[in-house]
Amino acid sequence: MSRAAQKVNRVALFGCGLLAAMLVVTVLAVPSHAGAGTRATAGSGASASIVNGHDTTIDQWPWQVALTVSRRVAPGTLTSRRFFCGGSVLAPRLVITAGHCVAELNRRQIHRIEIVSGRTRLNSNRGQIARVTGLRMPVNASGKRRYRALMGAADWDVALLTLATPLSAEPIKLAGPDETEAWSPGHIAWTTGWGITRAFADRVPARLQVTRQVLMGTGLCHRSDGVAFQAMRMVCIGGPRGHSSACNGDSGGPLVVETSAGYRLVGLTSYGDGACRGFVPSVDTKVSGRPIRDWVATSAMNLTGRDVIGSGGVGEPAKEWCRVPAVFGLKTRQAKQRLQASGCRLGRVRTDPWGAGRSGRVIGYSRLPGWLAPPGFKVNVWISP
């Protein structure tokens, strides 16, 4: 796939997120006595979620929460139809989520958001519900928000929500400065949420979903997204075999890694491929790296008096991977040799009748250079006629 085509799809997905956010704005703006029918589409989600994950339980990921439109705004409507984003509990009265979930809402609309905690199934009666009382997002020295949309991506895509009542769910800490190795490229991470499980679906799954992701090198997302990918504030991820993917659903949900001191939060679901294809990397907000971690730590201390940064955790060593090399323009034999040297294998070789370039040379392949796949992974290539 060409870089231009990838950017179009990035715009498509983030555009879905902005559209959903505007729908939430519209719904939250209606009087609190509005009927259930007014909440027809806001639950379609605000950006990226999980494709090809599997069922899990809230007991395994207790910090996971759902952002929903208040029951007062849409009485009688199922929680799954009022749901629009995910988030994580940092402290009993503090939730972290993606900035683009709430950036377009005014103060009154923010107060019409409810946090649902402690549920595996969104439509059950378990857990707790807490009303949002405040929003904080990063600002620069002049007081202007740092959050911005750029070429289909969201930069400084983070927000903190304060709550009217405390949640009893186990909070999660951000990975600290001495825990960086636990989430370096090549390590396994986990994403959870209730977002849609296939492209263009109109309903969220009944149960909480989880999928395994690999933390990719920054070069992969630089190749995919160009200047839209800001390595200081973004994490590049993808399913090891290119099957699990971001899709329209619950942005703001957690990306966590396991350490000797427990799970640590390293990312917030931010944006991904508009068609939910697994071979295009997804991008999360890098909450455990400077400068966002510093902002979260300071803000959380000011708001709650709590230290939300972890320390002392050690992760498992990074696994060995097939690191897909650049083989564009090579002959098939040369491509095979380069793939083998990188721990990969040559898969199917197909001729593209419309391809341009020197005859018999590689003009496309099934994974972008830098993708981390299981050792021996077969990379399919297309050659010019």
Residue 291 is part of a domain; what is its CATH number?
A: 2.40.10.10
Strands (E), 313-355: 322-323, 345-351
> Which one has a higher pLDDT value, 369 or 248?
369
Could you tell me if 42 and 66 are in contact, meaning their C-beta atoms sit under 8 angstroms apart? no
142 CB burial (10 A radius; 0-12, 13-18, 19+) = exposed
pLDDT at 7 over 70: no
Query: Domain of 118?
Result: 3-304
Question: Are residue 200 and residue 332 in the same domain, yes or no?
Answer: no
Which residue is associated with the tokens 């339980």? Answer: 57
CB 72 within 8 A of CB 46: no
Q: What amino acid occupies position 118?
A: G
Q: Kindly report, residue by residue over 97-115, the tens digit of the pLDDT.
A: 999 999 999 999 999 999 9
Mean pLDDT of the 46-72 span: 84
**Tally of CB atoms within 10 A around 133:** 15
Quick check: 45 pLDDT over 60? no
Domain boundary among 269, 304, 339: 304
Are residues 174 and 221 part of one domain?
yes
Q: Kindly tell me if the per-residue pLDDT of 332 is higher than 50.
A: yes
Question: For residue 223, what is the enclosing H or E element?
Answer: helix 218-225
Q: Does 340 lie in the same domain as 230?
A: no
23 and 120 inside one domain: yes
Looking at the predicted structure, is the pLDDT value of residue 248 above 60? no
Whether residues 161 and 292 fall in one domain: yes
Tokens 């399913």 correspond to 239
- The total of structural domains in the chain comes to 2
Collapsing DSSP to helix, strand or coil, 95 comes out as: strand
**Beta carbons of 155 and 231 less than 8 angstroms apart:** no
Confidence of residue 28 (pLDDT cuts 50, 70, 90): low
Q: Are residues 159 and 94 in the same domain?
A: yes
Which residues are CB-neighbours of 375 under 8 A, at least 6 positions away? 320, 321, 322, 343
Q: Are residues 41 and 187 in the same domain?
A: yes
